[in-house]
Structure 1
Amino acid sequence: MKLRNEEKGMSLVEVVVSITILSIILLSFASLFQQSSKTTENN
């Protein structure tokens, strides 16, 4: 008796969670880059 169907691909929830995690990571890198460019500009 199989408990879980073998599905190929990802479910909608997995896609939404992965996109959310990636956007958080990208936003943190963008803010770090912006802060470092402001610091470089002031010096």
Structure 2
Amino acid sequence: MEGVPPEAITREEKEAIVAEEEAKIKATYRDLSIGALISALTFGSF
């Protein structure tokens, strides 16, 4: 996508990119939450 002027990106493409980024962020937070939960259970420091 580098070098493409923003006008050349359609709204649908922008929405798809935003949705993809949101999915990545949500997956990261979910992984961190699971990791924190496992750590808390393992070390008993709730």
- Normalised to the residue count of structure 2, the TM-score between the two structures is 0.70
How many residues are aligned here? 37
**Comparing both structures, which one devotes a greater share of its residues to helix?**
2
The separation in 2 between residues aligned to 1:40 and 1:13, in whole angstroms, is 40
Give the gaps of 5 or more residues in structure 2: none
Question: Which has the higher Rg, Structure 1 or Structure 2?
Answer: 1
Question: 1:1-43 counterparts in 2 under 5 A?
Answer: 8-9=5-6, 10-43=9-42
| TM-score normalised per structure 1 | 0.74
Shift of residue 14 of structure 1?
1.1
Deviation beyond 4 Å, 4+ runs, structure 1: none
Q: Highest relative contact order (Cα 8 Å, sep 6+), 1 or 2?
A: 2
| Aligned-residue identity in percent | 3
RMSD between aligned residues: 1.5
